[in-house]
Structure 1
Amino acid sequence: MPDRTGPQGRRAAFSRGLAAEARAGAHLEALGFSILSRRARTEAGEIDLVVRQGDLLVFCEVKARADLDGAAYALLPRQQRRIAAAASAWLAARPDLAALNARFDVVLVSGRGMVRHLPAAFEADA
């Protein structure tokens, strides 16, 4: 089994994460969303993708694992709270978008390239 704690392992994991985010972004664009931000950094944390479709603003977490079930179980309540806080901080910096309806989605990506979009996967008060 490869060492995932060393520099090479971290670089490989980072590359896999970028590839998963690219697949998730392409999937959301195919569904009609426009990408407003990738890897949006705030003082509260990072949001993988911020997308918009009409009056809907979506803060999207991307989870990549060997299989979709593993990816689905990887989003913990603590992470959900961090994403919600980051979304609040992101919106504070973009008051022009504050009137839009917002939701929190998850896009799961498997090691085989399968993608599953979970709309409204969690609430901001998780």
Structure 2
Amino acid sequence: MIVRPQPITPEQTPQRLDRQARGAKAYQDGLCAEEVVCSACIKVGWTILLKRARTRRGEIDIVMRKGGLICFVEVKKRQTLRGAAECLTLVQQKRLYRAAECLLALYPHWSYEELRFDLIAVDDQNALLWVKDVIRQM
């Protein structure tokens, strides 16, 4: 019996499998970074309202409250803090803003005096850089 090798499908190419593995690792790294950020925020008095809040207009990694302030947080994980802090694009900022609008409509019972959008960068050693009011600063 002659066994002929089957052709490799596009889903099985080494490049695609490598990209899938990198994507899975990045996803897990992101989840771990979000947990590190949540723990750090809780330690300094923040209350986590939502994690990975999905809306029809986008996702917000963390929504938290401290006093009359509700903060929408984007977590960015990179090798360096600088690399993480510099990667929030204008498109992502607009998505965050629109997703926050949806969440505020979904949770009308949230009372607040101030809203803010922060970026918390996480590096490979889990060091944090907290950039407050990031949308107004950019």
Q: TM-score, normalised by structure 1?
A: 0.90
What is the SS of the residue equivalent to 1:40? strand
5+ long unaligned stretches in structure 2: 1-14
| Bigger mean CA offset, 100-109 vs 34-43 | 100-109
Instruction: Spell out the pairing of 1:26-41 with structure 2 (5 A cutoff).
Output: 26-41=39-54
Partner of 1:49: 62
Q: Does 1:82 align with 2:95?
A: yes
Maintained 8 Å contact 1:4/1:10: no
Q: Max radius of gyration: which structure?
A: 2
Q: How many residues align?
A: 123
5+ long unaligned stretches in structure 1: none
Flag as ranges the 4+ runs of structure 1 deviating above 6 A.
none
* 1:52-92 Cα deviation digits (max 9, x unpaired): 00110000000110000000111011100100000000100
Quick one: which of 4, 8, 14 aligns to 2:27?
14
Maintained 8 Å contact 2:70/2:112: no
Q: Cα RMSD over matched residues?
A: 1.9
Quick one: which of 114, 119, 122 aligns to 1:106?
119
Displacement of 1:99 in angstroms is 4.3
Taking structure 1 as reference, are residues 12 and 55 closer, same or farther at Cα in structure 2, changes over 3 Å only?
Answer: same
* 1:16-44 Cα deviation digits (max 9, x unpaired): 00001011111111121000000000000
Displacement of 1:100 in angstroms is 3.6
Letter in 2 for 1:76: T
Give the structure with the higher percent strand: 1
In 2: Cα distance, 1:90 partner to 1:98 partner: 13
Percentage of matched positions with identical amino acids: 34
Quick one: which of 59, 83, 87 aligns to 1:70?
83
